[in-house]
Structure formats: C-alpha cells, structure tokens
Chains A and B, each alone.
Chain A
C-alpha cells in the first residue's frame, strides 16, 4: 500500500511552519494538531495513538501524518473497524496507566462507542472512588462538513458536555488546537476533543510562544477574540470565525461586538461570559448544533440564572430547601444585567440535508449572526416567538 513511501530515516513529523517575510508565522490547524501530537508523544512514552487509518494511511484527514514512521506501529495503531472495540481497548489501556489518544473518523461514529466513553471512561474515577483514573483523549472532527449528509454532520458538543466526569474542548484557531490538545493529553481526566473538518486547512498566525513544545492552554478558560462594548457573542469552533466576520459587519453599522471563543464547553467559563454580559448587557449565543438542549441553552440558563443546579437539591428529596436556594445571594448571576432577551443561533432542528442549498440553510451563516446581534441591540424588530 503506502509502504513504498515509507522511509526509515527519522524526520520531523511534518514541516510545521512556513515563515513569511514578516515576523508573523502561520500554521494550519492540521499542522497544529500534528505537531502537538508529535511533541506530546515524544515527551511521554505512555502516549499512543489509536484509530482507523491513523497509521499507514497517515490519518483519514492527514492529522497523524508521519507519526507511524516516527514512532512505529506499537505507538500508532491502525485498528479494525470497531469503534466500540477500540474505544473499550483504549479505556482499558488508560485504566492500566497508558495515555491513549483515540481518533474517531468523525464524532458521528463515536455513537457506536458512546457506552465506553460515558460508562467506562467518564464515570470510572468517581465509581471506583479515585482508584481508576482514565487519562484518555477522544478526538476527531465534529459537526457539519460540506455535503456529507445527516449521519456525518451532527455536533456532539452538547451531548458530551452534559456528562460529569468528561472534559469537552473545542478549538478554533491553531493556537487553540495546539494548546488545548496538549492540555488534553496531559490531563488525567477523559477529554473529548472536538475538531472541525472544514477548519483543518485554514491557516492562523502563531506566535513563538505557541510554537514552543511546552506551550499549553488552561482547560476551562474562554478567550475573548475581539473586545467590544455593545453585545457579547459566544461561539466555539468554526462559528468563532463566522462571529468574527459578523463583528466586522456590525462594526460598520456602529455596533461593537465582543466575541468570546468558548474553547472549553465543559467546564464552561461562566466567569468570562458573565463578566462580558455585565459589560455589554446583551448576549447572542452561536453554535452549529441542534438548538434543543444545546450549548446556547446551557449558557442561557446556567450562566445567567443560578449556578447551583436545582436538580442537585431535588435528589436529596428535601424540598423545603428549595425555596431557600432562590433567596441566597451567594451565586453569581447576570440576569439583572441583561437589557434584551438572549438571542440563540443554532443549526436548524432537522437532520442535516445533503443538497447544497438546503445544507446552507440548515447551518448558521454570518448574516444570521448579524441579524441576531441587531435584534439584541433593538436595531430591528424582534422575531415572533416560534413553537
């Protein structure tokens, strides 16, 4: 197969950096992920990769290019087609103490392994009372690509972020990709790392600090990509790019939008979101996934109302404690700071259609974000309530 192109010399896994005449360096997401994996594998012999086509094929999306040649088949494993199988095996290896990085060709296929992700990985540290830790990373493209239909386009951020025991990250830029993947691999808890297929080829400027092999981003901190004072727009992954474009358009109309790149879906950086909302008093949440029970719904409720979940108290069955909760003022909340209802932009509540025109309408576009921001700023008539 691809044996012909395999050579035995030790090469850097990928040519990581294209230097420009100016001092700014650029890097694609693909290169960012590849270099992050390479550096973490070289730093820690316990880290190993597993997934379909990650080895000989150089990765279904070429993220793991060159790694098989560099680290050998013991550390870059091509698996048979069984997500449930290789996820279970990765979890078993993590139980023992290795640090697997399991690749799903897309997170849609992770549904075939979701029992192992939730029941075997996420809950194990808790159920075993700290005896079994699971330092595993599940990574792969998430959300819509282009023209791949319903079974290849779903966003799983909300599903995984609902589960205690998991950490869920979603990078946007190359800096995010490098820093968050490194953090995920080093983290002792199971991490779901949601990439985006359409972003793999996009280039972003990276500083020298980002290129350093010890670079790492903290998990649970969002990044303010663009400061503003009129409306806060939260987004993650590809939607951050759309939100930034929307901010450009809004700026021409005199609306200064603050764009928050969530980076971490679980734990959600509620502090940053709250601080921003207190500053701007208006909020638009943007995501590509389905609206019901989505990330935007969570930001709406938990960041702006109570941090303390009412569910927790119910489980004690001491319902007289409930009214007490509402009157305690220990919890941060920014509901009182809002000047307008929160606008939620999400994908259409339908399985993703294939036809290009329908697909375009099923996913948020820049214009949708612009219109939502204007509605939040009372620059246009609010939409009628939809069922």
Chain B
C-alpha cells in the first residue's frame, strides 16, 4: 500500500525525489524544469537599487525590492557555509549526554549556531508533472475512475461557480465574493481524501470542500443572497457558509481562530473514541497569527488528531510571503512544534489527495497532528474588494492562471486514462452553468429571512429583553407599514 512507506520514516526529513533546491539555485536558472524564469518563486536577484525591472511593467516597481535583502543575506550565508555542517545531523563529537528538564542532550565543545535556514529547501511532493503525466518515480494513493471523474467535475464546478459569482457581485446583485481560483486542487483533492465524519474548520477559501460533501449549488447561492432559504438565516456576509449536516463549521472572518478550535474539536473526537479527525485550512498569512502558534503547540502537547492544511498561495491580500515570514515556508515550522509535516504541490490534485489520505491515517491511528503545506497560487484577487493588479504584475497572474492551472493539469491525466473526453467536458460545463443561472434566479427572487430571525439564536432561548424589543418593533411596523421594507416577511 503506497501510504505505508511514509509511516516507515522515523525522521522527518522528507524523501527527496527532485533536484535539490539550494538558496543559490533559487537565484540561478538551474532549477527544476517545470518552472520558467518568470515565476515569482524563481527570480533572479536584481543588484541595482529598488525599482525598475526589466521583466515586468513598471507598475511592479516595488516588486523587486524585497529580493535585494534576500540577496544580501545569502551572501552572508555563503561565508558561514564554509564553516558549517548541517547541524541537524547527529553530533559525532562525543556521546556523553547531559540531563536537563526535557530529556538528555548530547553536548559539544564547538560553538555552532544553527543557520536561519537549512541548505536545501524542503522539497515538494508531487505526482503529476505540469502536463498531467504521472512522474516516473512516484508514490501515491491510487484512485478509481469514479473518484477521478467526481474530482474533476467538482473542480470544474468550483471554477464555474467562482467566475459566475464574481460577475454577479460585479453586477451589484450580491455584496461580496471571494474566489478560490487557482486552488481547486487543494480544495477538491483534500476533500476527496477525507471521510464525511471528519470535521472541517475552514478559513474562507475552501468552498470546494463543502461542494464535495454535497452542499448544493442552490444552497451556496442562497447564502450569497442571504434569503429565507439560507441555512445561515441571512446573518453573515457572503461566502460564510456552514453546514452541520456536512460537518463543515461556519466560516468565521477573523484569521486563524479556527486553528485552536480545530484542536479542541479533535481532542473531543479523541475523547469520544471516534475514528475521525479534525481538519483545518488556513493560508500563508494565518501562520503569523498567535493562534497558529497556540494551535500547533497545543495539538502536539495534547496529541490531538488534527490535520493542519496550509494553502500557501503566495499572497495575503497584498503581502507576499517574503514579507510574511522568513522561514522556508510553513512546512519547517511543523518540526519546531514536534509535528509531522509535508510540503505538497498544491496544484497537483493527486499529490494533495495522497498526502491528505495518508495524513488522515497518521492522525487517527497515532492520535497526533499533521501539518501539510500545499504550495499553490492565488490566481484571483483576494476578494471582490481587491484589485491585485495594483500590487503584482498581470503576467504573473496570467502565467499561473494558464500554464500552471491545476484543473487543466488534472484534466490531462484523467483524459489520458480514457476516463474523460471533450464531449463530457462541454456537457459538464454547460450543465453546471445552466444550473447556476437557475439557482441565482430562484435565490434572487426569494424573500429575505423573517423578522424573528433578527432576534433568535442570540441565545439558546429568546431572553425577555429581546422578546420585548421584538414586540415593540412589530407594533411599530404595524402602525407604519409604508416605512418598512416589503421583501422581509413578518
């Protein structure tokens, strides 16, 4: 079974399938074949002063500034590298150990500082190459045709939902929307690997997980319009979906609060003896929040069966990852907390599926947390309130949208297996589009939630002060109906 080989690894250094990435190769073009030199992760340093690049339009003038600092620090590192060995190796100097709270530790008479990053970046697990071909040496969890077709269809549905709802917001029919463009593989690939008993605590860029579990298009649209059929009773902004039935906890806006909550939910699952885990999603920006530290630390200390899935999509609104943290991404932070971690190509649906599937086994069988960093790219703007062309180059967006598109990549693999063809494709796309248009029409015409929904659910039972307020309000409305909106039922 493909996943068991992962369990045999007792050290957390990942298996290296790919070419090594050192900090130097980051700045040269001898890196992996799949990345062209215009990728933001593989940039050449510009030694001149901040500003005017030759690669992109001048609107991205400040784009290069951040790499200057990187360049300088690697120079310093080069000097240190001469003296340094990789200090994660066992110390050969002596085997005498000293006792301290926390356990025995070998000691050394050489003063060595651990550098801020190891020589090689943690490599990224992937199964398919950019053309959707399974790589030669591969280690992944097999999926059936039905699973593959459902995965692909849901990825297409998510894509279509995003483009249509974005337009609907632009037309002024809904107030707000957040797309997940570019992250379809993380959404669907992870969702497919989980069971319906697993509890999901999302950030807000994971509607695909809810879609996979059976939330209907109509339900999505009803929440966006906040009408009377909305499961959320019109209480929340658009995209704040939630469904008890699908074990998907309602989206909450503050960043990273779901991390310690997931640990609590996981701990409860453990206490109940359930064969299920808690799964929580968050972005690269969330890893700066205090809750990230508290959540991971606690999960390790409490042996909670929780999977932390970080969608490292390169941007937190306008903050690029270089300004978010100085570590090698998020995966290296796992070990700092004593947590098994893996870095995955988030645009490779099969790799995401395999990693999550295996992580789930580890979490449940061994009652421990797992951290998955899925590298991907946020193709869309942060939300409809954002215009990301103001802080990043349009060609960068186009590149990731077209050449590194996860949906197309998976499609090629599914097609190559003979499980999908062009007529399936056009039928699917037109069907989904039609369903969405119909759902939108229905939702738009529907009534808004009734007046009582303003007052109930503040507490388990309506308290007397709210009962009185409601009573007074109804009397006023009765006296002056002309001042009252007509699409809110009483």
Give A residues with C-beta under 8 Å from B. 74, 77, 79-80, 82, 84-98, 100, 115-116, 119-120, 124-133, 164-165, 167, 187-189, 220, 267, 270, 307-309, 312, 318, 320-321, 324-325, 328, 330-331
Q: Could you name 14 residue pairs across A and B whose Cβ atoms are closer than 8 Å?
A: A87-B260, A91-B260, A92-B258, A92-B268, A92-B278, A98-B268, A100-B264, A116-B257, A120-B254, A126-B457, A132-B249, A328-B472, A330-B475, A331-B472
User: A341 vs B242: C-alpha distance in the bound complex, in angstroms?
Assistant: 50
The residue of chain B having its C-beta at the shortest distance from the C-beta of A121 within the complex is B261
* B265 CB–A CB distance under 8 Å: yes
* B290 CB–A CB distance under 8 Å: yes
CB neighbours of A89 from chain B (8 A): 260-261, 263-264, 267, 295, 298, 302
The answer to whether B459 touches A93 (Cβ under 8 A) is: no
The answer to whether A128 touches B232 (Cβ under 8 A) is: yes
User: A146 vs B110: C-alpha distance in the bound complex, in angstroms?
Assistant: 51
The answer to whether A97 touches B264 (Cβ under 8 A) is: no
CB neighbours of A86 from chain B (8 A): 260, 294, 298
Given A88-B257, A92-B260, A307-B468: A131 touches B250 (CB 8 Å cut-off): yes
Partner of A90, one of B240, B264, B456: B264
Partner of A125, one of B271, B460, B463, B476: B460
User: A270 vs B469: C-alpha distance in the bound complex, in angstroms?
Assistant: 14
Q: How far is the CB of B201 from chain A (nearest CB, A)?
A: 7
User: A79 vs B199: C-alpha distance in the bound complex, in angstroms?
Assistant: 23
Q: Other than the known A91-B264, A307-B469, A320-B483, what 20 A-B pairs have Cβ atoms closer than 8 Å?
A: A80-B294, A84-B260, A85-B290, A85-B297, A86-B298, A89-B261, A89-B302, A92-B260, A92-B264, A95-B249, A96-B199, A98-B268, A100-B264, A115-B254, A119-B257, A120-B261, A126-B235, A187-B460, A328-B472, A331-B472
* B458 CB–A CB distance under 8 Å: yes
Q: How far is the CB of A50 from chain B (nearest CB, A)?
A: 9
Q: How far is the CB of B142 from chain A (nearest CB, A)?
A: 33
User: A82 vs B480: C-alpha distance in the bound complex, in angstroms?
Assistant: 52
* B262 CB–A CB distance under 8 Å: yes
User: A325 vs B473: C-alpha distance in the bound complex, in angstroms?
Assistant: 9
The answer to whether A82 touches B297 (Cβ under 8 A) is: yes
Q: Which 6 A-B pairs have the closest CB atoms?
A: A85-B294, A92-B264, A88-B260, A92-B261, A93-B264, A89-B264
CB neighbours of B3 from chain A (8 A): none
Give B residues with C-beta under 8 Å from A. 199, 201, 230-233, 235-236, 240, 242-244, 249-250, 252-254, 257-269, 271, 278, 290-291, 293-295, 297-298, 301-302, 453, 456-460, 463-465, 468-469, 471-473, 475-476, 479-480, 483-484
The residue of chain B having its C-beta at the shortest distance from the C-beta of A50 within the complex is B264
The answer to whether B265 touches A92 (Cβ under 8 A) is: yes
User: A96 vs B271: C-alpha distance in the bound complex, in angstroms?
Assistant: 11
Partner of A120, one of B233, B257, B301, B471: B257
The answer to whether B242 touches A132 (Cβ under 8 A) is: yes
CB neighbours of A130 from chain B (8 A): 233, 456-457
CB neighbours of B253 from chain A (8 A): 119
CB neighbours of B268 from chain A (8 A): 92-93, 96-98
Centre residue among A100, A116, A128 by max chain B CB count within 10 A: A128
The answer to whether B298 touches A80 (Cβ under 8 A) is: yes
The answer to whether A125 touches B458 (Cβ under 8 A) is: yes
Centre residue among A92, A93, A127 by max chain B CB count within 10 A: A92
The answer to whether A119 touches B254 (Cβ under 8 A) is: yes
User: A115 vs B484: C-alpha distance in the bound complex, in angstroms?
Assistant: 35
User: A312 vs B468: C-alpha distance in the bound complex, in angstroms?
Assistant: 13
Partner of B460, one of A95, A188, A321, A331: A188
User: A90 vs B268: C-alpha distance in the bound complex, in angstroms?
Assistant: 10
Q: How far is the CB of A188 from chain B (nearest CB, A)?
A: 4
The answer to whether A129 touches B254 (Cβ under 8 A) is: no
The answer to whether B252 touches A127 (Cβ under 8 A) is: yes
CB neighbours of B266 from chain A (8 A): 92
The residue of chain B having its C-beta at the shortest distance from the C-beta of A74 within the complex is B271
Partner of A129, one of B457, B459, B483: B457
The answer to whether A164 touches B458 (Cβ under 8 A) is: yes
Q: How far is the CB of A25 from chain B (nearest CB, A)?
A: 34
Partner of B261, one of A80, A91, A131, A321: A91
User: A87 vs B268: C-alpha distance in the bound complex, in angstroms?
Assistant: 14
The residue of chain B having its C-beta at the shortest distance from the C-beta of A136 within the complex is B264
Q: How far is the CB of B202 from chain A (nearest CB, A)?
A: 13
User: A324 vs B265: C-alpha distance in the bound complex, in angstroms?
Assistant: 48
CB neighbours of A128 from chain B (8 A): 232, 235, 242, 249-250, 457
The answer to whether B199 touches A116 (Cβ under 8 A) is: no
CB neighbours of B252 from chain A (8 A): 119-120, 124, 127
Centre residue among B236, B265, B269, B479 by max chain A CB count within 10 A: B265
CB neighbours of B458 from chain A (8 A): 125-126, 164-165
Given A90-B264, A95-B261: A167 touches B459 (CB 8 Å cut-off): yes
Q: How far is the CB of B430 from chain A (nearest CB, A)?
A: 34
User: A308 vs B236: C-alpha distance in the bound complex, in angstroms?
Assistant: 24
The answer to whether A93 touches B265 (Cβ under 8 A) is: yes
Given A95-B261, A115-B254: A85 touches B291 (CB 8 Å cut-off): yes
Given A321-B483, A324-B479: A131 touches B271 (CB 8 Å cut-off): no
CB neighbours of A98 from chain B (8 A): 268, 271
